[in-house]
Structure 1
Amino acid sequence: MKWKTAALALSLFLALSAGSAEAEWTLGPGLAPPLPTNPAFSTKGWQEGTMNVNIPVSKDENLLKRARINAAVEVETDCFTRTIEKRNEIWKTSGWVTWQSAMDRKDSPVTSFLLVESSYPDRAAHPMSRAVAMNFDRLGHRVTLKDLKKTMGNLTVEEVNRQIDIQCGERNIHLFARHEVRKLPDLFYIGKDNHVYLVFEPYEIGPYASGFIAIDMGEAKL
């Protein structure tokens, strides 16, 4: 089992870091590994069956906000756990849930982080991963792209396509020949630099080897 864990870790490193010019291990710029000293979050972990989970736990002073954030994380984690359980009925599959820290300072106007869900069927060529956006306002309500578009005029399909070409060209990220998008992606986060990043998962606009591709759309305005 140790060699499988090592193989998964290596595969995740390659998949999650390929979209960065510096080969960062994180999903994209403006993100960081969770720190045990973060006053706003702790990490809760457990292992059960083929599931290995490490998820954020909000420590916000606002009890309602804290409850809303933690409930959203738990609902998503439970949903993914059930998916892995069903897959195990047919084929042995390991599952992992981890998280990436974005704008999650104690005094941040927006709380933003990503859950990363990974599955690895036994003897598969490589794991598959997806990211789940977690963006909340001061009261713990979810922040959507629709909210951001009200004050960010550059959040248009035309501008996103333009930035994809510019930023991926600068970072030497390989894209599909036909990579133009027709709608804004559902996945985004607000980085530690207060910039909005739109995220395209593997196979959306580039091959698996290009990993997750984060496109910087500028300073968040809410």
Structure 2
Amino acid sequence: MTRGGGDTTKRVKTARGRTASSNRWLSRQLNDPYVRQAKAEGYRSRAAYKLIELDEKFGVLKGVHRVIDLGIAPGGWSQVVRKLRPKASVVGIDLLETDPIEGVTLLQMDFMADDAPAKLAEALGGKADLVMSDMAANTVGHKQTDHLRTMGLVEAAAWFAVEHLEPGGAFVAKVFAGGTDAEILALLKKHFRTVKHAKPPASRKGSSEWYVIAQGFKAEPLT
């Protein structure tokens, strides 16, 4: 309630055929300040503010010139990179179609395909300063299965980063409650000077998502 007594919460009108979960989702969207801010500032999703907040805390976009965006759709993270680092080259990949973004090369294909890493590297034209991933596997409703599928994507993204980053580069990826699995964490700690976890304020409180931030790529020989 406001001081004047008016209720500022937008209510969702009921509609035939709409499920209760759909109503809850729509209500949450209508009353989410990050959704409103994203629309006002021209970002395609509220997820843009997660990267903005991670950059404010860790400086992940400082001095970047070449960026790989894994799971780019709908494009909010790449929009942030282009806004804050307008001279940076960005290559994004996603199974979903993504509307064009100025200065961003888009590949519509499965990142897990055998030829995806080579096509990304070719499109970027050099080693990346930052590999970022907001990927998550489609859920099947079984908590353990969903976690394993998403961590499989994180592991693939981490290996891609290790193989395609410039010395001093960074890797940022979505993980889930409990943080990064032990094997992936060991890989990151071996190849990066610092590895931290964070939950940016833009990440909904009820969400289990966290982010791993690995910085200072050491470019040691792969073993």
What is the TM-score when the length of structure 2 is the normalising length? Answer: 0.29
Specify which structure has the bigger relative contact order, considering alpha-carbon pairs within 8 angstroms and separated by 6 or more residues. Answer: 1
What is the TM-score when the length of structure 1 is the normalising length? Answer: 0.29
Structure with the higher strand share, 1 or 2: 1
